Structure 1
Amino acid sequence: MARILITNDDGYQAPGIRALAPVIAELGHDVLVVAPLDDQSGVGSARAGMVDRPIRTVTEDEHGIAYCGVAGTPALAVTLATLGSFGPPPDLVLSGINRGANLGVPIFHSGTVAAALTAAAQGVSAIAVSIDSEVPEHWKTAATMAAEALNWIASEPAGTVLTLNVPDRPLDALAGVRHATLAPIKYSRLIGTTAPTGEPMVTLEPTRSDLPAASDMALLQAGYVTVSPLTGIGVLPDEDAANALAKRLSSYR
Protein backbone atom coordinates (compact mmCIF):
# COMPACT_ATOMS: atom_id res chain seq x y z
CA MET A 1 0.00 0.00 0.00
CA ALA A 2 1.01 3.63 -0.46
CA ARG A 3 2.11 6.32 1.95
CA ILE A 4 -0.60 8.99 1.82
CA LEU A 5 -0.21 12.55 3.03
CA ILE A 6 -3.51 14.09 4.14
CA THR A 7 -3.69 17.85 4.59
CA ASN A 8 -6.28 20.64 4.44
CA ASP A 9 -6.75 24.38 4.90
CA ASP A 10 -9.30 24.16 7.74
CA GLY A 11 -6.78 23.08 10.38
CA TYR A 12 -5.56 19.74 11.70
CA GLN A 13 -8.44 19.50 14.18
CA ALA A 14 -11.16 20.17 11.59
CA PRO A 15 -13.90 17.52 11.24
CA GLY A 16 -13.21 17.03 7.53
CA ILE A 17 -9.65 15.80 7.97
CA ARG A 18 -10.69 13.71 10.99
CA ALA A 19 -13.36 12.05 8.83
CA LEU A 20 -11.04 11.41 5.89
CA ALA A 21 -7.92 10.02 7.56
CA PRO A 22 -9.55 6.93 9.19
CA VAL A 23 -11.22 5.93 5.90
CA ILE A 24 -7.87 5.99 4.09
CA ALA A 25 -6.11 4.19 6.96
CA GLU A 26 -8.76 1.44 6.91
CA LEU A 27 -7.77 0.71 3.30
CA GLY A 28 -4.34 -0.32 4.59
CA HIS A 29 -2.44 2.80 3.52
CA ASP A 30 0.29 4.38 5.61
CA VAL A 31 -1.40 7.65 6.55
CA LEU A 32 0.56 10.81 7.33
CA VAL A 33 -1.53 13.80 8.46
CA VAL A 34 0.16 17.21 8.31
CA ALA A 35 -2.06 20.30 8.19
CA PRO A 36 -2.14 23.89 9.46
CA LEU A 37 -2.54 24.51 13.18
CA ASP A 38 -5.50 26.79 12.48
CA ASP A 39 -7.83 27.82 9.70
CA GLN A 40 -5.95 28.88 6.55
CA SER A 41 -8.84 29.11 4.09
CA GLY A 42 -8.21 31.24 1.02
CA VAL A 43 -4.44 31.50 1.39
CA GLY A 44 -3.79 29.94 -2.01
CA SER A 45 -0.24 28.65 -2.48
CA ALA A 46 1.42 30.91 0.10
CA ARG A 47 4.26 29.27 2.04
CA ALA A 48 4.82 31.91 4.71
CA GLY A 49 6.97 30.70 7.58
CA MET A 50 9.60 28.74 5.68
CA VAL A 51 12.48 31.19 5.64
CA ASP A 52 14.70 32.13 8.61
CA ARG A 53 12.19 31.32 11.33
CA PRO A 54 11.33 28.24 13.41
CA ILE A 55 8.25 26.27 12.41
CA ARG A 56 6.10 25.25 15.38
CA THR A 57 4.38 21.88 15.20
CA VAL A 58 1.89 20.05 17.43
CA THR A 59 0.96 16.37 17.25
CA GLU A 60 -2.18 14.66 18.56
CA ASP A 61 -3.08 10.97 18.39
CA GLU A 62 -6.61 9.81 17.63
CA HIS A 63 -7.58 6.18 16.98
CA GLY A 64 -4.01 5.26 16.12
CA ILE A 65 -3.48 8.17 13.68
CA ALA A 66 -1.06 11.01 14.43
CA TYR A 67 -2.35 14.44 13.41
CA CYS A 68 0.46 16.98 12.99
CA GLY A 69 -0.39 20.67 13.09
CA VAL A 70 2.04 23.10 11.46
CA ALA A 71 2.18 26.84 12.14
CA GLY A 72 1.80 27.78 8.50
CA THR A 73 -0.19 27.26 5.33
CA PRO A 74 -1.34 24.09 3.53
CA ALA A 75 1.34 24.62 0.88
CA LEU A 76 3.95 24.82 3.63
CA ALA A 77 2.66 21.59 5.20
CA VAL A 78 2.85 19.79 1.85
CA THR A 79 6.31 21.14 1.08
CA LEU A 80 7.69 20.04 4.43
CA ALA A 81 6.14 16.57 4.17
CA THR A 82 7.30 15.96 0.59
CA LEU A 83 10.84 16.96 1.61
CA GLY A 84 10.84 14.30 4.34
CA SER A 85 10.34 16.46 7.44
CA PHE A 86 7.84 13.94 8.87
CA GLY A 87 9.45 10.70 7.80
CA PRO A 88 9.45 9.13 4.34
CA PRO A 89 7.91 11.42 1.69
CA PRO A 90 4.36 10.54 0.59
CA ASP A 91 3.49 8.65 -2.57
CA LEU A 92 0.20 10.56 -2.97
CA VAL A 93 -1.54 13.54 -1.37
CA LEU A 94 -5.16 14.09 -0.33
CA SER A 95 -6.26 17.60 0.59
CA GLY A 96 -9.53 17.95 2.49
CA ILE A 97 -12.26 17.27 3.20
CA ASN A 98 -12.87 20.99 2.81
CA ARG A 99 -15.99 22.39 4.42
CA GLY A 100 -17.72 24.08 1.48
CA ALA A 101 -17.29 23.54 -2.24
CA ASN A 102 -14.33 24.82 -4.25
CA LEU A 103 -15.78 25.81 -7.60
CA GLY A 104 -14.98 27.70 -10.75
CA VAL A 105 -11.98 29.68 -11.86
CA PRO A 106 -11.48 31.27 -8.38
CA ILE A 107 -10.23 27.94 -6.97
CA PHE A 108 -6.71 29.30 -7.36
CA HIS A 109 -7.44 31.18 -4.09
CA SER A 110 -8.23 27.93 -2.27
CA GLY A 111 -5.69 26.60 0.20
CA THR A 112 -7.21 23.14 -0.30
CA VAL A 113 -6.61 23.17 -4.05
CA ALA A 114 -3.24 24.92 -3.72
CA ALA A 115 -2.03 22.13 -1.45
CA ALA A 116 -2.74 19.62 -4.23
CA LEU A 117 -1.01 21.79 -6.83
CA THR A 118 1.98 22.22 -4.50
CA ALA A 119 2.26 18.45 -4.28
CA ALA A 120 2.21 18.22 -8.06
CA ALA A 121 5.03 20.76 -8.26
CA GLN A 122 7.00 18.34 -6.10
CA GLY A 123 6.19 15.51 -8.51
CA VAL A 124 3.48 13.93 -6.35
CA SER A 125 -0.07 13.31 -7.61
CA ALA A 126 -2.81 14.81 -5.47
CA ILE A 127 -6.55 15.18 -4.98
CA ALA A 128 -8.41 18.12 -3.45
CA VAL A 129 -11.80 17.09 -2.09
CA SER A 130 -14.55 19.42 -0.88
CA ILE A 131 -18.08 18.90 0.37
CA ASP A 132 -20.86 21.27 -0.68
CA SER A 133 -22.01 22.46 2.73
CA GLU A 134 -20.88 24.80 5.50
CA VAL A 135 -22.44 22.41 8.04
CA PRO A 136 -21.92 18.96 6.45
CA GLU A 137 -23.86 15.91 7.57
CA HIS A 138 -22.39 13.33 5.18
CA TRP A 139 -18.63 13.43 5.61
CA LYS A 140 -18.49 9.69 4.87
CA THR A 141 -19.84 10.27 1.35
CA ALA A 142 -17.00 12.68 0.53
CA ALA A 143 -14.43 10.39 2.18
CA THR A 144 -15.65 7.44 0.12
CA MET A 145 -15.41 9.45 -3.11
CA ALA A 146 -11.89 10.56 -2.16
CA ALA A 147 -10.86 6.95 -1.56
CA GLU A 148 -12.20 5.88 -4.96
CA ALA A 149 -10.38 8.75 -6.67
CA LEU A 150 -7.21 7.78 -4.82
CA ASN A 151 -7.37 4.30 -6.33
CA TRP A 152 -7.58 5.84 -9.80
CA ILE A 153 -4.90 8.49 -9.44
CA ALA A 154 -2.38 5.99 -8.06
CA SER A 155 -1.92 4.57 -11.57
CA GLU A 156 -1.71 7.95 -13.33
CA PRO A 157 1.48 9.87 -14.19
CA ALA A 158 3.22 11.59 -11.27
CA GLY A 159 1.99 15.13 -10.77
CA THR A 160 -1.63 14.43 -11.77
CA VAL A 161 -4.11 16.65 -9.90
CA LEU A 162 -7.87 16.32 -9.45
CA THR A 163 -10.33 18.51 -7.63
CA LEU A 164 -13.53 16.79 -6.43
CA ASN A 165 -16.67 18.48 -5.20
CA VAL A 166 -19.16 16.22 -3.45
CA PRO A 167 -22.82 16.97 -2.62
CA ASP A 168 -23.68 16.71 1.07
CA ARG A 169 -25.88 13.66 0.53
CA PRO A 170 -25.92 9.96 1.37
CA LEU A 171 -24.05 7.82 -1.17
CA ASP A 172 -27.24 6.38 -2.61
CA ALA A 173 -28.66 9.87 -3.17
CA LEU A 174 -25.86 11.02 -5.47
CA ALA A 175 -26.85 11.66 -9.09
CA GLY A 176 -23.54 10.23 -10.30
CA VAL A 177 -20.03 11.39 -11.12
CA ARG A 178 -19.23 13.79 -13.96
CA HIS A 179 -16.19 15.44 -15.49
CA ALA A 180 -16.64 19.18 -15.01
CA THR A 181 -15.24 22.39 -16.43
CA LEU A 182 -14.54 25.33 -14.12
CA ALA A 183 -17.50 27.70 -13.90
CA PRO A 184 -16.78 31.33 -14.90
CA ILE A 185 -17.72 32.60 -11.45
CA LYS A 186 -17.86 36.21 -10.35
CA TYR A 187 -18.53 37.34 -6.79
CA SER A 188 -21.57 39.37 -5.82
CA ARG A 189 -21.21 40.14 -2.10
CA LEU A 190 -19.43 39.35 1.16
CA ILE A 191 -21.11 37.10 3.72
CA GLY A 192 -20.15 36.36 7.31
CA THR A 193 -19.68 32.82 8.57
CA THR A 194 -17.79 30.87 11.24
CA ALA A 195 -14.56 28.91 10.86
CA PRO A 196 -14.31 25.29 12.14
CA THR A 197 -12.34 26.71 15.10
CA GLY A 198 -15.29 28.91 16.05
CA GLU A 199 -13.64 32.11 14.89
CA PRO A 200 -15.62 34.58 12.75
CA MET A 201 -14.68 34.77 9.09
CA VAL A 202 -15.90 36.39 5.87
CA THR A 203 -16.53 34.55 2.61
CA LEU A 204 -17.53 35.67 -0.86
CA GLU A 205 -20.91 34.76 -2.34
CA PRO A 206 -20.59 33.72 -6.01
CA THR A 207 -23.07 34.39 -8.76
CA ARG A 208 -25.16 31.37 -9.71
CA SER A 209 -26.77 32.32 -13.01
CA ASP A 210 -25.98 31.54 -16.64
CA LEU A 211 -23.80 28.57 -15.75
CA PRO A 212 -22.54 26.26 -18.51
CA ALA A 213 -24.28 22.89 -18.18
CA ALA A 214 -20.94 21.07 -17.98
CA SER A 215 -19.50 23.37 -15.31
CA ASP A 216 -18.66 22.21 -11.82
CA MET A 217 -21.19 24.52 -10.18
CA ALA A 218 -24.08 23.49 -12.44
CA LEU A 219 -23.37 19.77 -12.07
CA LEU A 220 -22.90 20.01 -8.30
CA GLN A 221 -26.25 21.80 -8.00
CA ALA A 222 -27.80 18.87 -9.92
CA GLY A 223 -26.45 16.41 -7.35
CA TYR A 224 -23.38 15.12 -9.18
CA VAL A 225 -19.89 14.59 -7.81
CA THR A 226 -17.72 16.79 -10.02
CA VAL A 227 -14.22 15.79 -11.10
CA SER A 228 -11.92 18.36 -12.70
CA PRO A 229 -8.31 17.54 -13.65
CA LEU A 230 -6.09 20.56 -13.02
CA THR A 231 -2.70 21.76 -14.12
CA GLY A 232 -0.38 24.16 -12.37
CA ILE A 233 1.48 27.11 -13.84
CA GLY A 234 2.90 26.32 -17.28
CA VAL A 235 3.79 27.85 -20.60
CA LEU A 236 1.45 27.60 -23.57
CA PRO A 237 3.04 26.02 -26.65
CA ASP A 238 2.03 28.97 -28.88
CA GLU A 239 5.10 31.22 -29.14
CA ASP A 240 3.52 33.95 -31.31
CA ALA A 241 2.77 36.39 -28.48
CA ALA A 242 6.19 36.00 -26.92
CA ASN A 243 7.96 36.43 -30.24
CA ALA A 244 5.91 39.53 -31.07
CA LEU A 245 6.74 41.09 -27.72
CA ALA A 246 10.42 40.19 -28.09
CA LYS A 247 10.47 41.95 -31.46
CA ARG A 248 8.94 45.09 -29.98
CA LEU A 249 11.38 45.11 -27.06
CA SER A 250 14.42 44.62 -29.31
CA SER A 251 14.34 48.33 -30.12
CA TYR A 252 15.27 49.13 -26.49
CA ARG A 253 18.60 47.32 -26.68
Structure 2
Amino acid sequence: MRVLVTNDDGIDSPGLYALARAAASVDWEVLVAAPSTEASGTGTSFASTAGRAPIPLDRRSVEGFEAIAVPAHPSLISFIACLGGFGFKPDLVLSGVNLGANTSTGILHSGTIGAALTAGVRGVSALAVSLDVEWDGPKPLWDTATEVAAAVLPTLVEMPAGSVLSLNVPNAPTVRGIEWASIAPVSPYQVRVEADGDSVRLRGGLTDLEPVPGTEVAWLASGHAALTALHSVGALPTSDLPSPAWPA
Protein backbone atom coordinates (compact mmCIF):
# COMPACT_ATOMS: atom_id res chain seq x y z
CA MET A 1 0.00 0.00 0.00
CA ARG A 2 1.44 3.36 -1.08
CA VAL A 3 0.42 6.30 1.05
CA LEU A 4 0.80 10.07 0.74
CA VAL A 5 0.86 11.89 4.08
CA THR A 6 0.20 15.63 3.88
CA ASN A 7 -1.26 18.41 6.06
CA ASP A 8 -1.97 22.13 6.21
CA ASP A 9 0.16 22.94 9.27
CA GLY A 10 3.33 22.67 7.20
CA ILE A 11 6.28 20.38 6.67
CA ASP A 12 7.67 20.97 10.17
CA SER A 13 4.53 19.96 12.10
CA PRO A 14 5.03 17.09 14.58
CA GLY A 15 1.52 15.86 13.76
CA LEU A 16 2.57 15.20 10.17
CA TYR A 17 5.27 12.73 11.18
CA ALA A 18 3.10 11.16 13.87
CA LEU A 19 0.64 10.23 11.12
CA ALA A 20 3.47 9.05 8.87
CA ARG A 21 4.73 6.76 11.63
CA ALA A 22 1.25 5.31 12.06
CA ALA A 23 1.10 4.44 8.35
CA ALA A 24 4.62 3.02 8.36
CA SER A 25 3.85 0.83 11.41
CA VAL A 26 1.66 -1.39 9.21
CA ASP A 27 4.44 -1.67 6.61
CA TRP A 28 2.89 0.76 4.14
CA GLU A 29 5.16 2.69 1.79
CA VAL A 30 5.01 6.29 2.97
CA LEU A 31 5.80 9.53 1.19
CA VAL A 32 5.47 12.81 3.09
CA ALA A 33 4.71 15.90 1.01
CA ALA A 34 3.42 19.02 2.71
CA PRO A 35 3.39 22.81 2.38
CA SER A 36 6.73 24.52 2.94
CA THR A 37 5.01 26.85 5.40
CA GLU A 38 1.79 26.78 7.41
CA ALA A 39 -1.26 26.78 5.09
CA SER A 40 -4.28 26.51 7.37
CA GLY A 41 -7.60 27.80 6.07
CA THR A 42 -6.77 27.23 2.41
CA GLY A 43 -9.63 24.79 1.74
CA THR A 44 -9.36 23.25 -1.72
CA SER A 45 -7.13 26.00 -3.08
CA PHE A 46 -4.76 25.06 -5.89
CA ALA A 47 -2.45 28.01 -5.25
CA SER A 48 1.33 27.86 -5.30
CA THR A 49 3.85 30.57 -4.49
CA ALA A 50 5.52 29.65 -7.77
CA GLY A 51 2.54 31.03 -9.69
CA ARG A 52 2.57 29.63 -13.21
CA ALA A 53 6.27 28.71 -13.02
CA PRO A 54 7.43 25.16 -12.27
CA ILE A 55 6.90 24.31 -8.59
CA PRO A 56 10.22 23.60 -6.84
CA LEU A 57 10.45 20.50 -4.64
CA ASP A 58 12.63 20.61 -1.54
CA ARG A 59 13.45 16.97 -0.84
CA ARG A 60 14.45 16.08 2.71
CA SER A 61 14.90 13.09 4.98
CA VAL A 62 13.02 13.55 8.25
CA GLU A 63 12.73 10.87 10.94
CA GLY A 64 13.59 8.26 8.32
CA PHE A 65 10.89 9.40 5.88
CA GLU A 66 11.30 10.80 2.40
CA ALA A 67 9.74 14.22 2.81
CA ILE A 68 9.06 16.91 0.23
CA ALA A 69 8.45 20.52 1.18
CA VAL A 70 6.25 22.05 -1.51
CA PRO A 71 5.50 25.80 -1.80
CA ALA A 72 1.83 25.07 -2.45
CA HIS A 73 -1.45 24.53 -0.66
CA PRO A 74 -2.30 21.00 0.53
CA SER A 75 -5.09 20.44 -2.00
CA LEU A 76 -2.69 21.10 -4.87
CA ILE A 77 -0.13 18.78 -3.26
CA SER A 78 -2.77 16.05 -3.04
CA PHE A 79 -3.75 16.66 -6.67
CA ILE A 80 -0.14 16.44 -7.86
CA ALA A 81 0.38 13.20 -5.93
CA CYS A 82 -2.78 11.60 -7.33
CA LEU A 83 -1.50 12.32 -10.85
CA GLY A 84 1.80 10.61 -10.05
CA GLY A 85 3.77 13.84 -9.79
CA PHE A 86 5.90 12.65 -6.86
CA GLY A 87 6.88 9.36 -8.46
CA PHE A 88 3.83 7.20 -7.83
CA LYS A 89 0.07 7.47 -7.50
CA PRO A 90 -0.88 6.77 -3.86
CA ASP A 91 -3.42 4.15 -2.89
CA LEU A 92 -4.44 6.32 0.07
CA VAL A 93 -4.01 9.92 1.17
CA LEU A 94 -3.70 10.70 4.87
CA SER A 95 -4.05 14.35 5.85
CA GLY A 96 -3.05 15.64 9.30
CA VAL A 97 -2.71 15.27 12.14
CA ASN A 98 -4.20 18.77 12.23
CA LEU A 99 -3.62 20.98 15.25
CA GLY A 100 -7.27 21.70 16.04
CA ALA A 101 -10.61 20.07 15.31
CA ASN A 102 -12.24 20.38 11.89
CA THR A 103 -15.98 20.41 12.51
CA SER A 104 -19.20 22.09 11.41
CA THR A 105 -18.91 24.80 8.75
CA GLY A 106 -15.16 25.00 9.40
CA ILE A 107 -14.58 21.99 7.16
CA LEU A 108 -15.31 24.24 4.18
CA HIS A 109 -12.15 26.22 4.85
CA SER A 110 -9.82 23.52 6.17
CA GLY A 111 -6.76 22.71 4.10
CA THR A 112 -6.57 19.38 5.93
CA ILE A 113 -10.04 18.48 4.69
CA GLY A 114 -9.35 20.01 1.28
CA ALA A 115 -6.44 17.66 0.61
CA ALA A 116 -8.61 14.65 1.45
CA LEU A 117 -11.54 15.79 -0.69
CA THR A 118 -9.24 16.45 -3.64
CA ALA A 119 -7.89 12.91 -3.41
CA GLY A 120 -11.43 11.55 -3.33
CA VAL A 121 -12.32 13.37 -6.55
CA ARG A 122 -9.35 11.66 -8.20
CA GLY A 123 -10.56 8.23 -7.06
CA VAL A 124 -8.11 7.89 -4.16
CA SER A 125 -9.56 7.22 -0.72
CA ALA A 126 -8.47 9.60 2.01
CA LEU A 127 -8.59 10.15 5.76
CA ALA A 128 -8.30 13.59 7.34
CA VAL A 129 -7.26 13.45 11.01
CA SER A 130 -7.72 16.38 13.40
CA LEU A 131 -6.90 16.72 17.09
CA ASP A 132 -9.29 18.77 19.22
CA VAL A 133 -6.76 21.10 20.81
CA GLU A 134 -6.32 24.88 20.72
CA TRP A 135 -3.13 26.51 19.45
CA ASP A 136 -2.47 28.01 22.88
CA GLY A 137 -4.04 25.13 24.82
CA PRO A 138 -2.68 21.94 26.42
CA LYS A 139 0.11 19.91 24.87
CA PRO A 140 -1.12 18.06 21.75
CA LEU A 141 -1.37 14.31 22.36
CA TRP A 142 -0.42 13.22 18.86
CA ASP A 143 -0.21 9.54 19.85
CA THR A 144 -3.89 9.53 20.83
CA ALA A 145 -4.84 10.85 17.39
CA THR A 146 -2.72 8.32 15.53
CA GLU A 147 -3.88 5.41 17.69
CA VAL A 148 -7.49 6.19 16.77
CA ALA A 149 -6.54 6.79 13.13
CA ALA A 150 -4.86 3.37 12.99
CA ALA A 151 -8.11 1.81 14.20
CA VAL A 152 -10.07 3.59 11.45
CA LEU A 153 -7.75 2.75 8.55
CA PRO A 154 -9.04 -0.82 8.01
CA THR A 155 -12.55 0.62 7.60
CA LEU A 156 -11.33 3.10 5.00
CA VAL A 157 -9.44 0.40 3.08
CA GLU A 158 -12.63 -1.67 2.83
CA MET A 159 -14.68 1.26 1.46
CA PRO A 160 -15.03 2.00 -2.28
CA ALA A 161 -12.18 3.87 -3.96
CA GLY A 162 -12.55 7.61 -3.62
CA SER A 163 -14.13 7.45 -0.15
CA VAL A 164 -13.29 10.34 2.19
CA LEU A 165 -13.46 10.24 5.98
CA SER A 166 -12.90 13.02 8.49
CA LEU A 167 -11.75 11.92 11.95
CA ASN A 168 -11.81 14.27 14.94
CA VAL A 169 -10.09 13.03 18.09
CA PRO A 170 -10.28 14.41 21.65
CA ASN A 171 -6.98 15.66 23.05
CA ALA A 172 -7.07 13.20 25.94
CA PRO A 173 -4.94 10.22 27.05
CA THR A 174 -7.87 7.87 26.46
CA VAL A 175 -10.86 7.97 24.09
CA ARG A 176 -14.25 6.52 25.01
CA GLY A 177 -14.85 5.12 21.54
CA ILE A 178 -15.29 5.98 17.86
CA GLU A 179 -18.71 7.07 16.64
CA TRP A 180 -20.12 7.91 13.21
CA ALA A 181 -21.09 11.56 13.28
CA SER A 182 -23.06 14.08 11.28
CA ILE A 183 -21.82 17.62 10.64
CA ALA A 184 -22.85 20.17 13.25
CA PRO A 185 -25.01 22.96 11.74
CA VAL A 186 -23.30 25.60 13.87
CA SER A 187 -19.77 25.65 15.23
CA PRO A 188 -19.21 26.35 18.93
CA TYR A 189 -16.23 28.43 17.82
CA GLN A 190 -17.43 31.76 16.45
CA VAL A 191 -15.46 34.50 14.72
CA ARG A 192 -16.23 38.22 14.79
CA VAL A 193 -14.78 41.05 12.71
CA GLU A 194 -13.33 44.20 14.21
CA ALA A 195 -12.89 47.03 11.67
CA ASP A 196 -11.57 50.57 12.08
CA GLY A 197 -11.75 51.74 8.46
CA ASP A 198 -8.07 51.04 7.70
CA SER A 199 -7.85 47.40 8.72
CA VAL A 200 -9.89 44.47 9.91
CA ARG A 201 -9.08 41.96 12.61
CA LEU A 202 -10.67 38.55 13.09
CA ARG A 203 -11.19 37.42 16.66
CA GLY A 204 -12.69 34.13 17.70
CA GLY A 205 -13.57 32.11 20.72
CA LEU A 206 -15.74 29.33 22.10
CA THR A 207 -19.39 30.02 22.84
CA ASP A 208 -21.83 28.29 25.16
CA LEU A 209 -23.86 26.82 22.29
CA GLU A 210 -25.31 23.44 23.18
CA PRO A 211 -23.98 20.82 20.71
CA VAL A 212 -26.51 19.00 18.56
CA PRO A 213 -26.62 15.29 19.51
CA GLY A 214 -25.01 12.95 17.00
CA THR A 215 -22.71 15.61 15.54
CA GLU A 216 -18.93 15.64 15.66
CA VAL A 217 -19.04 18.51 18.15
CA ALA A 218 -21.28 16.56 20.52
CA TRP A 219 -19.22 13.37 20.32
CA LEU A 220 -15.99 15.26 21.00
CA ALA A 221 -17.58 16.94 24.01
CA SER A 222 -18.44 13.51 25.40
CA GLY A 223 -14.89 12.20 25.00
CA HIS A 224 -15.51 10.18 21.82
CA ALA A 225 -13.68 10.33 18.51
CA ALA A 226 -16.02 11.41 15.72
CA LEU A 227 -15.89 9.89 12.23
CA THR A 228 -17.71 11.59 9.36
CA ALA A 229 -18.05 10.43 5.75
CA LEU A 230 -17.68 13.35 3.33
CA HIS A 231 -18.21 14.01 -0.35
CA SER A 232 -16.96 17.04 -2.24
CA VAL A 233 -19.16 17.32 -5.32
CA GLY A 234 -22.93 17.10 -5.36
CA ALA A 235 -26.13 18.92 -6.20
CA LEU A 236 -29.55 19.33 -4.66
CA PRO A 237 -32.51 17.63 -6.35
CA THR A 238 -34.14 20.12 -8.71
CA SER A 239 -37.65 18.67 -8.94
CA ASP A 240 -38.99 20.94 -6.18
CA LEU A 241 -37.06 24.06 -7.12
CA PRO A 242 -38.68 26.97 -9.00
CA SER A 243 -37.80 27.29 -12.66
CA PRO A 244 -35.71 30.35 -13.57
CA ALA A 245 -37.52 32.84 -15.77
CA TRP A 246 -36.22 33.59 -19.26
CA PRO A 247 -37.72 36.12 -21.66
CA ALA A 248 -39.55 34.51 -24.56
- TM-score, normalised relative to structure 2: 0.88
Q: Please give the alpha-carbon distance, in whole angstroms, between the structure 2 residues aligned to 1:113 and 1:63.
A: 25
More helix, by proportion: 1
Segment of structure 1 superposing worse, 232-241 or 88-97: 232-241
| Cα distance change of structure 1 residues 155 and 219 upon mapping to structure 2, 3 Å threshold | same
Query: 1:40: which partner in 2?
Result: 39
> Displacement of 1:180 after TM fit?
1.2
Partner residue of 1:194?
A: none
Q: Does 1:176 align with 2:206?
A: no
Contact 1:7 1:74 in 2 (8 A): yes
- Which residue is 1:20 aligned to? 19
Evaluate the alpha carbon distance shift between residue 51 and residue 237 of structure 1 in structure 2; reply closer, same or farther with a 3 A threshold.
farther
Query: Partners of 2:203 and 2:153 in 1: how far apart?
Result: 29
**Residues 238, 177 of structure 1: alpha-carbon distance in 2 compared, 3 angstrom cutoff:** same
**Deviations along 1:20-42, whole A, 9 cap, x unmatched?**
11121121001011111110000
Gaps of 5+ in 2: 194-200
Map 1:194-213 → 2, pairs under 5 A: 204-213=204-213
What is the deviation of 1:151? 1.5
The 3 A distance-change label for structure 1 pair 203 and 147 is: farther
The match for 1:144 is 147
Matched, 1:156 2:154: no
How many pairs were matched up?
Answer: 236
Alpha-carbon separation, structure 1, partners of 2:171 and 2:77: 27
Deviation of the 1:136 alpha carbon: 3.7
Change (3 A) 1:117 1:141: same
Partner Cα separation in structure 1 for residue 180 and residue 88 of structure 2 = 33
The answer for the alignment partner of 1:196 in structure 2 is none
- Correspondence list, 1:108-127, <5 A: 108-127=108-127
8 Å Cα contact 2:80/2:86 also seen in 1 = yes
Q: Provide the rounded CA distance (Å) in 2 between the counterparts of 1:202 and 1:151.
A: 40
CA drift of 1:245 comes to: 2.3
Provide the identity percentage: 39
Structure 1 segments, 4+ long, off by >4 Å, are none
Q: Deviations over 1:63-121 (max 9, x none)?
A: 32111111010001101111111111000111000001111122110000111100011
Instruction: Give, in angstroms, the shift of residue 232 of structure 1.
Output: 0.8
Match of 2:197 in 1: none
Aligned match of 1:195 = none
Question: Does the 8 Å CA contact 2:131/2:140 hold for their aligned counterparts?
Answer: no
SS at match of 1:234: coil
TM-score by length of 1: 0.86
Match of 1:240, SS?
Answer: coil
